[in-house]
Structure 1
Amino acid sequence: MMLGLRTAIYPVADLGAAKAWYAEVLGQAPYFDQPFYVGFAVGGFELGLLPNAQPGTNGPQPLWGVDDIEADFARLLALGATELDPISAVGEGIRVAAVQDPFGNRLGLIQNPLFDPSAVR
């Protein structure tokens, strides 16, 4: 039985540059830092960086929860990301957006007032 999301892994060609950028984006150092993988703790989940891998914007598209999508979207752009999908309302007060990180990966955001953190297993 699947329990729910635990880790979203992003492939990167330059692990050092990606680690520095994501540390700035997340406001913290990684909790796991090895030459073969870097992991950041994000709200009870993990954002992982896989070195020597091919980045891309196709494939699975995890969305990371935010409280203020306008501010977080603008901050990512200011830190060097490029817009993929503008902020869009998708119903029920939910808004989504996506950027491409400086390494070529899609980084999705979601502001979802219906998300229930107590339901996370």
Structure 2
Amino acid sequence: MSTVSYFADDVVQARDWYASLLGVDAYFERSTPDGVLAYAEFRIGDHQAELGIVHRAFEVTPSDGPCGAVLYWAVDDLDATLARLEELGARVHDEPRVRGEGFVTASVVDPFGNVLGVMTNPHYLSVVDRIPG
């Protein structure tokens, strides 16, 4: 995974929500010619993956409900992460589910209608531990 895009009607509100969740500010932004923020991008995680917040006007297949593939972000503490997400206004989409030893997934719907997956993943941790530096 290099980039994931989430959509929002109000990119400023979504950018600020994700900045609060992630503890980092967006490093790149792009506005429409009339000054409406159309895109904000964060670099996050061990590999500086890109999380883009795109104005819903540019969504190719709009939906009235949560939809799309669920991309799971590896987290150190699933329960604390879920609590933080709910504190910020996300609602549970899928309760934590054990998928195998050490593999636990859950998902929420952010305040903008996007499904955000989180998980504990020992395989991911073992890969990160093998990266030099």
TM-score bracket relative to the smaller structure: 0.7 to 0.9
Q: Hey, what's the Cα distance between the residues in 2 that align with 1:60 and 1:50?
A: 16
Q: Highest CA radius of gyration, 1 or 2?
A: 2
Q: 1:109 aligns with which of 113, 118, 125?
A: 118
Q: What residue ranges of structure 1 are gaps of 5+ in the alignment?
A: none
Secondary structure of the 1:49 match is strand
Select the structure with the greater relative contact order (CA < 8 A; seq sep ≥ 6).
1
The normalised TM-score by structure 2 is 0.80
Query: Residues 50-100 of structure 1: CA distance to partner in whole angstroms, max 9, x if unpaired?
Result: 113446522221111100000001100011000011111110210110000
Aligned residues: 115
Q: Hey, what's the Cα distance between the residues in 2 that align with 1:15 and 1:45?
A: 19
Q: What residue ranges of structure 2 are gaps of 5+ in the alignment?
A: 32-37
Map 1:61-100 onto structure 2 (within 5 A). Answer: 61-100=70-109
Letter in 1 for 2:55: P
Q: Hey, what's the Cα distance between the residues in 2 that align with 1:20 and 1:49?
A: 10
Q: Percent identity?
A: 40
Q: Hey, what's the Cα distance between the residues in 2 that align with 1:100 and 1:51?
A: 17
Higher helix share: 2
After the TM superposition, list the runs of 4 or more consecutive aligned residues in structure 1 that deviate by more than 4 angstroms. Answer: none
Q: Note if 1:25 corresponds to 2:21.
A: yes
Q: Hey, what's the Cα distance between the residues in 2 that align with 1:92 and 1:18?
A: 34
Q: Note if 1:34 corresponds to 2:30.
A: yes
Q: Note if 1:13 corresponds to 2:15.
A: no
The normalised TM-score by structure 1 is 0.88
Deviates more, 1:44-53 or 1:102-111: 44-53
